[in-house]
Structure formats: C-alpha cells, structure tokens
Amino acid sequence: MSGAQPLRIAIAGASGRMGRMLIEAVLAAPDCRLAAALDREGSAALGQDAGAFLGQSTGVLIASDLRAGLSGADVLIDFTRPEGTLAHLALCAELGVKAVVGTTGFDEAQKAQIATHARHTAIMMAPNMSVGVNVVLKLLEVAARALNEGYDIEIVEAHHRHKVDAPSGTALQMGQVVADALGRDLKQCAVYGREGVTGARDPSTIGFATVRGGDIIGDHTVLFAGTGERIEISHKASSRGIYAQGSLRAARFLAQRPHGLFDMADVLGTR
C-alpha cells in the first residue's frame, strides 16, 4: 500500500462504547479513512451515519453486511465478542483484510482458530491495546525475575459493571507474563477465588481478584508482597481513547505485514 494512500479501516461493533471511540479516532487521524462501520443484525443503529453521535456526517452508514463492509477495507478493528470476532476473522482471511483484535474471553480452541486465520492474513491480537499497559507488561517481566523468591504475587483488576468476562484479559496476560518469567505454568498456579477456611497461602500461586462496578474503565495492579516491603505495579485507564490510539498504531503496523499473528510487543518493539 502506498504511503500516500490513507489506511482504510472498518470498525466492528460500531454502535458500542468502544466502537464509537474507534470511529472518533479514525475520523481524527489524517492517515486513516473510515471505510465501514459494522454492527450486528437487528441493531437499532443500522442505517445511521457512523458519525451521528459526534454531530458529523461521514457518508458511512452503519451496516450489518460484513462482506460488503470489508470489501473496501484494508484493516478491521474488532472489539466485540469471541463468536462474532471469529466469524469476522474467517472472512478477513478469505478477503485478505488485516485485523486488529481487542476482543477478550477466547478459549484455547478459539485461539487456535485465530492462529489458523493468521496464515492467510495479518492479525494483531492483544487483550489490551494501551501503550502504557504494554510497557507495564515489560516492567512485570523484569520485576518477576528479580523478585523470584520470598514474594507473594497478587493481581487485582477493576472494570465497569457491563464487562462480561472475569478476570479481564489484561489481568490474565499480566499473570501469564509473570508466570513465564518465573518458569511456572499459570494453569497450575493461578488462584481465582478464595472463600472460607483456605489455609495458609501457597507461595507458588499467583492470585487474582476481580472488582466490577460503576463506570471504571480499567484498573490493574500487580502486587509483589514480601517480608517488610511490597512492590505494586499499576496501570489506571481514565479514557477508552488509549485503546483506540493503540489500535490505530497496530493497524499501521499491520499495513506492512502480509500475514502472521502479532501482539503489542511486536507493534511497540518491546519483545
């Protein structure tokens, strides 16, 4: 794709909170163009101008015809639900459209399907598109290696009342980074809930705690609790705009990749 040509971006879940944030970011980016705004069949937003919520006329109407929407796009940005995202990626692979996936909650079989689609097109998938969060992931890797003995590790995350999966994909990714750095298997050492007489804490475990309420956009803290000190590495989001800007950065990265499965460490060069 020529550098003089704007990157044509389609947005899935266009009428949702994240979809609107993505549309606003694309419209504000001089090197991007909104190619399609997609939503599920039956959505009340179908037929509306994608920029109506901003008081703008874009000429792009929110539609449910995925094939038609993707036919004029270079990249799809998708923050929807696992089943919907998988259907979208199958068509992206068929049409050669690249995809930025911020959807969370995939199981192992679904992740394997995504890897298969990535043989045919370029996919960047990350549970959190924030540049700051992905810098934190690198810090956690360094901290876990240095604090590999004598420190109990707990991960606490908080999100808005509408979030449907727990723990968050970002919290799980943080746990995975820490476990990998310590040489542990997260599936074996993760503790997702405590109730009643639990006994003393097993020092080999990584604990998760989840908070849901209000309009919290996303808070994550990883606690390394030792004897006489504790280290807390935190990230707190105050705007969904950080996810939209990270998504556009990922879309620009994919523009030069014909196929493959990537994450934000690839985009930021922090691997």
Active-site annotation holds for 159? yes
Reported as a single tens digit per residue, the pLDDT across 107-128 is 999 999 999 999 999 999 998 8
Tokens in use for 49?
A: 């101008």
Tell me the pLDDT band of 2, cut-offs 50, 70 and 90.
very low
Active-site annotation holds for 160? no
Q: Are 150 and 166 in contact (CB under 8 A)?
A: no
Residue 213 pLDDT > 90, yes or no? yes
The per-residue DSSP string of 189-234 comes to HEE----S---SPPTT-EEEEEEE-TT--EEEEEEEE-SS-EEEEE
Average pLDDT score over residue span 222-226: 98
- Alpha-carbon torsion angle 220, 226, 231, 232, nearest 10: 10
Residue 3 pLDDT > 60, yes or no? no
pLDDT of residue 128: 87
CA–CA gap between residue 184 and residue 180 (Å, rounded) = 6
Distance between start and end Cα atoms, the chain:
26
Residue 240 pLDDT > 90, yes or no? no
Domains of the chain (ranges plus CATH)?
7-125+240-268 (3.40.50.720), 131-237 (3.30.360.10)
- Alpha-carbon torsion angle 218, 123, 250, 219, nearest 10: 10
Residue 1 pLDDT > 70, yes or no? no
Catalytic residue among 98, 159, 220, 235: 159
pTM over 0.85: no
CA–CA gap between residue 164 and residue 104 (Å, rounded) = 10
CA–CA gap between residue 23 and residue 10 (Å, rounded) = 9
Tell me the pLDDT band of 231, cut-offs 50, 70 and 90.
very high
Burial of 163 (0-12, 13-18, 19+ CB in 10 A): middle
Burial of 210 (0-12, 13-18, 19+ CB in 10 A): middle
pLDDT of residue 270: 87
pLDDT of residue 23: 98
Catalytic residue among 120, 138, 163, 259: 163
Residue 190 pLDDT > 70, yes or no? yes
Angle at 99 between CA 98 and CA 100, to 5 degrees: 140
Question: Of all residues in the chain, what percent carry a pLDDT higher than 90?
Answer: 95
Residue 83 pLDDT > 80, yes or no? yes
- Alpha-carbon torsion angle 78, 80, 83, 87, nearest 10: -30
Reported as a single tens digit per residue, the pLDDT across 128-138 is 899 999 999 99
pLDDT of residue 271: 80
Reported as a single tens digit per residue, the pLDDT across 8-46 is 999 999 999 999 999 999 999 999 999 999 999 999 999
Distance of CA 201 to the CA centre of its chain: 31
